[in-house]
Each structure stands twice: as structure tokens, then as C-alpha cells.
Amino acid sequence: MDDRNIAVVAIDGPSGSGKGTIAQQLASYLGWHLLDSGALYRLVAVAAQNSAVDLDNEAGLSRVAAGLDVRFVSKADGTEQIFLGQTDVACEVRTEETGKIASNIAAMPQVRVALMELQKRFRKAPGLVADGRDMGSVVFPDAPVKIFLTASPEERARRRHKQLKDKGIDVSLPALSADIAERDLRDTERAVAPLRPAPDAEILDTTDLSIDEVVEQVKKIVARTLADR
């Protein structure tokens, strides 16, 4: 099948906007594939450190990105495994430290180019829910559904804090807020594929909404758009 006939729901937004959870729930509801593109940038960070590639060596990092051997597995109990070769690196991938390095690496144009093909390969029938920063604007510009999730910085820091606490990771809320502000700035101000809504994206502010409410709204947007196709 021509890729362009395979529908993509692009869900973009800043850290803590809820896009990861929403994308996961939507993909499982629709029975579609899921691309967590942030995890790919995080994996480049982990793989580079494993193979002693300097984190400011753009050419070296882009080679790591081009050669990523990754497999995502969702277990029945809801936990995830992320295999780099034969090793499950999910825990390292999800740390705040890896997120910070990923945000730096993601500003490098060669790394973004190197990950482009890999991201496009996730577009498989019956459809793809793609979560990231530039899914609707750069990677899948022809996606029929583009949603940009936002929430106030305070609410996003609070959500991230809870998420980490639930995993037994203790981080102070003010430190997390400062990290989120710094990451927002880097992600929105970088020269290539900066974090911003595609012109045809539907913007949804989730500050005062529960996850279930956001999922319901997103399902409605998807149903409406796909019915019009």
C-alpha cells in the first residue's frame, strides 16, 4: 500500500503536556501502531554513551542514530521494554538526565535527518499514532489528523513530578519546573524543526482536563477528521 494512504494521527506538544499517555491510549483504542519519537532521541543519547561517542560530536551521533537497532515491546501489564540490540534499556531511556541530553542532541540537524527514515518506517497499516515535537510539522506533514497539546508550565511540572514519584524517583518540584522551562526554551528556539504547532494542527489546552477528558476530545477529533476523508 502507498504510505500516503495509511492514516497518521500526529500528536505534538511540550514535555508534560500528556501526549505520551494520550498517544498510547489512542493507539490501543484504534488498534494502530505507535511511534514515540522522543524515545528515539533518548535512545541516541543512551547508545552514544554506551559506545563512548562524545555528546557534542554531531557526525558521530548521527551515525549512532542511523544505526539504531531498536524494538519497542508493550507488555500485557502496561509496562514497556525498549530493546537496543538485545538489551532492555527502558529504565535508562526514561530518566530526566537522558531527557536533557536528548533535548540537546535533538537540536543537531544531522541527527534529525538520520532519524527521519526510521520514523517514517513506523507508518504501517492500519494506521499510526505518532507522538513528538515535529510529527505534524516535519515528519508526517500529510497526516490527516494533527493535534497540538499544551498545558501551563506549572501543570506540566506537577504532572511530571507525579509520574516520577509513581516510579519511585524523588525529584524536587522547583528543580523539575526549572528543567522543564529550560527544555521548553531549547526545544522551541532551535533552528531545525522547533517545537511549534503545524499551521493546520488543532490546539488543545489540557491544563484543566483529566487524561480521560483529553482522550475523549482527541477521539472525537480523530473520528470527525477520518469521517471527512
Binding positions for ligand DC, rule: CB under 6 A: 15, 37-39, 41-42, 99, 102-103, 106, 132-134, 183, 187
Distance between CA atoms of residues 176 and 160, nearest Å:
8
Instruction: Enumerate residues 6+ apart whose C-beta is below 8 A from 106.
Output: 41, 112, 133, 187, 190
Give 92 or 187: the residue with its C-beta nearer to ligand DC.
187
Distance between CA atoms of residues 225 and 98, nearest Å:
36
Distance between CA atoms of residues 169 and 219, nearest Å:
32
Give 30 or 139: the residue with its C-beta nearer to ligand DC.
139
The amino acid at 141: P
CA atoms in the 13 A half-sphere facing the CB of 204:
27
A 10 A CB-CB count for 68 gives 16
Give 45 or 222: the residue with its C-beta nearer to ligand DC.
45
The residue sitting closest to ligand DC, measured at its beta carbon, is 38
At closest approach, how far in Å is the CB of 40 from ligand DC? 7
The amino acid at 133: R
Give 150 or 227: the residue with its C-beta nearer to ligand DC.
150
At closest approach, how far in Å is the CB of 166 from ligand DC? 17
Distance between CA atoms of residues 17 and 54, nearest Å:
30
Show the cell assigned to 172. 524536587
At closest approach, how far in Å is the CB of 118 from ligand DC? 12
Instruction: Enumerate residues 6+ apart whose C-beta is below 8 A from 88.
Output: 81, 82
At closest approach, how far in Å is the CB of 14 from ligand DC? 8
Give 134 or 155: the residue with its C-beta nearer to ligand DC.
134
At closest approach, how far in Å is the CB of 8 from ligand DC? 13
At closest approach, how far in Å is the CB of 102 from ligand DC? 4
Give 160 or 218: the residue with its C-beta nearer to ligand DC.
160
